[in-house]
Structure 1
Amino acid sequence: MKWKGRRQSSNVEDRRGMSSGGKTIMGGGILGIIILLVNVFGGENAQMITPVLEQLNQGQNQPATEQRDLTAAELEEQAFVKTILADNEDVWSRIFQENNLQYKKPNVVLFSGAVQTDCGNASSDSGPFYCPADQKVYMDLTFFEELKTKFGAQGGDFATAYVIAHEIGHHVQTLLGTSAKMRQMQQGKSKAEANKLSVALELQADFYAGVWTHYNQQMNNILEDGDLDEALSAAHAVGDDAIQAKMQGRIVPESFTHGTSEQRKYWFMKGYKSGDIKQGNTFEELGLY
């Protein structure tokens, strides 16, 4: 991916130089307790885990922090994230303006180990997620190594860009009111029906990641050979069916919260090919309204 030499966003908080002596609230790696609630690419579902996180946090000490200098590799990662966030800001500001709307820029928080959010505390086991309460994306970048080693994704810088764009997609859903509407629709539904609505929300975030790629390619000519394959490999690796088959040896469709590998790849590519946010009504196409 071609990313160097462009504008970098000032809306990145890098907390990786902060170490804590306090306890993290979760364990068991990337498929620990958090994945039952948020799954990989936590998304808007992060808001729903707040009561559980608060319960888990009872009686735990607030961590005391110490500051260290970031390494050269960490500074390079920071520059990459700042550039990708700036690209998202530019693309979504343009799309919102074209639709007579105003885009409010979110922050991205980089952390190591554990982090405090307005949706509760979380550990690295949560994977990247968006917290609608503070409108921030939280990422421990070690996730991307686990994405390759544990889930078999191809890896690469554009895989990381896809994940960031997916989480920014959840921010777009918050600004447009889609997330709030989805939560209202989940009220009174069975677990299986509520999960279907969650799947639609997540697939739409994948679609928005594709839309971002479409516009960013037009604006900045970012793509190199293999970049789309990196994104599709990441999308395939975190499909509910792929994760369940790998981790538990069986697939339970009614428990899906993010969509199958094929669905995730399809909606990302639909967004990329069309560049039209009006074609991303996953709820209607899945027959949910």
Structure 2
Amino acid sequence: MKWEDLQTSENIEDRRGEGGGFGGPVGGGGIGLGTIVVLGIIGWALGINPSLLIGGADMLSRMGGGHRIEREDRTRDTSQPTDQLGRFVAKVVGSNEQVWSQILPQQEGVAFRAPRLVLFDGATSSRCGTAQSAMGPFYCPLDQRIYLDTSFFRDMKQRFGGGGDFAYAYVISHEMGHHIQNLLGLLPKVQRAQARAGSRAEANSLSVRVELMADCLAGVWANNGNRSQNFLEEGDLEKAVASAQAIGDDRLQRAQRGMVVPDSFTHGSSAQRTEWLLRGLKSGRIDDCNTFGR
């Protein structure tokens, strides 16, 4: 992936080296990333190991009564990372900002507001709880920030069998996809639907649809970004597809449990994740990512 000449985002908070973040959850005990209210599920114990999953919905899996959402939302100064990996992240975010600021108003009539991306190592705090590296990247709608410990990229390559610049860009753009869903008003609707869900399987199904849509939106970014910025190189698509396949719920469950339980999927199968990523890559249109209409 040719990323060096991409636009650099100014919405990066580099908290690496802060020694575990600042502050703590309000109210005793606190909450972990498993309680992230990306979709607002409350009380659905999904039993999925979040360290094996990318994205937002798995962050909801351990939401339970008696916990409080962290209220602290200190404003941090943005800073431009100087290391290569930090610069790469800032470039991918910048490319996303450039693309979505154009196509979101054009295609949906919705103004784009850029989120911040927080780089951290080990742990940091968010309005959705304490972010820990083992939980993977996630988007917090309460503070409209994407949280990323870049050690996840190493795990992605060594443990999940995926890797490469464009595959890492896919991960970042998947989380940006959740922000787009939030701007479209989708996440609150799904939250209400999941609160009314009559079973765990029904709630899980809604999570899968949200995650597959975010995969597709990552493809929409890549389609439109490559047309204007020409950043794709030979082999990039194959690496992204390999990563999408590697993090499918079926493959992760088989590796972890030795069996597959479709009703417990929260992100979709390898085939589904690949299908929706490629759908967005092919069309470049947000409307073609409507997983709720299919």
Common fold by TM > 0.5: yes
Q: 2:117, 2:147 within 8 Å by CA — same for their partners in 1?
A: yes
Q: 2:220, 2:284 within 8 Å by CA — same for their partners in 1?
A: yes
| CA shift in 2, pair 1:207/1:267, >3 Å | same
Q: Which segment drifts farther, 144-153 or 262-271?
A: 144-153
Corresponding residue pairs, total? 266
Q: 1:175 aligns with which of 167, 174, 183?
A: 183
> 1:137 is paired with a residue of what secondary structure?
strand
Q: Which segment drifts farther, 197-206 or 93-102?
A: 93-102
Question: Is 2:163 the counterpart of 1:185?
Answer: no
Amino acid at match of 1:210: G
The CA distance in 2 between the partners of 1:139 and 1:253, in whole Å, is: 28
Amino acid at match of 1:147: M
Q: 2:223, 2:284 within 8 Å by CA — same for their partners in 1?
A: yes
TM-score, normalization: structure 2?
A: 0.83
Partner of 2:122: 113
The CA distance in 2 between the partners of 1:38 and 1:125, in whole Å, is: 5
The CA distance in 1 between the partners of 2:258 and 2:57, in whole Å, is: 27
| CA shift in 2, pair 1:147/1:52, >3 Å | farther
Q: 1:132 aligns with which of 134, 141, 144?
A: 141
| CA shift in 2, pair 1:36/1:128, >3 Å | same
Question: Is 2:54 the counterpart of 1:41?
Answer: yes
Q: 2:56, 2:138 within 8 Å by CA — same for their partners in 1?
A: yes
Question: Is 2:97 the counterpart of 1:89?
Answer: yes
The CA distance in 1 between the partners of 2:4 and 2:21, in whole Å, is: 36
Q: 2:177, 2:215 within 8 Å by CA — same for their partners in 1?
A: yes
Amino acid at match of 2:10: S
Amino acid at match of 2:253: Q
Percent pairwise identity:
44
| CA shift in 2, pair 1:34/1:109, >3 Å | farther
Partner of 2:37: none
> 2:9 is paired with a residue of what secondary structure?
coil
Q: 2:221 aligns with which of 185, 190, 212?
A: 212
Partner of 2:173: 165
| CA shift in 2, pair 1:255/1:248, >3 Å | same
The CA distance in 1 between the partners of 2:105 and 2:61, in whole Å, is: 31
Q: CA deviation at 1:188?
A: 2.6
Q: 2:203 aligns with which of 194, 201, 205?
A: 194
Partner of 2:27: none
Q: 1:44, 1:132 within 8 Å by CA — same for their partners in 2?
A: no
| CA shift in 2, pair 1:121/1:134, >3 Å | same
Unaligned stretches of 5+ residues in structure 2: 25-29, 34-45, 71-79
The CA distance in 2 between the partners of 1:34 and 1:220, in whole Å, is: 41
Q: CA deviation at 1:25?
A: 7.9
Q: 1:53, 1:121 within 8 Å by CA — same for their partners in 2?
A: no
Partner of 2:75: none
Q: 1:215, 1:275 within 8 Å by CA — same for their partners in 2?
A: yes
Partner of 1:230: 239
TM-score, normalization: structure 1?
A: 0.84
Q: 2:20, 2:124 within 8 Å by CA — same for their partners in 1?
A: no
Q: CA deviation at 1:6?
A: 2.8
| CA shift in 2, pair 1:38/1:169, >3 Å | farther
| CA shift in 2, pair 1:187/1:53, >3 Å | closer
| CA shift in 2, pair 1:253/1:50, >3 Å | closer
Q: 2:119, 2:149 within 8 Å by CA — same for their partners in 1?
A: yes
Q: Deviations over 1:223-251 (max 9, x none)?
A: 00111111111111110001001111000
> 1:82 is paired with a residue of what secondary structure?
helix
Higher helix proportion, which one?
1
Partner of 1:145: 154
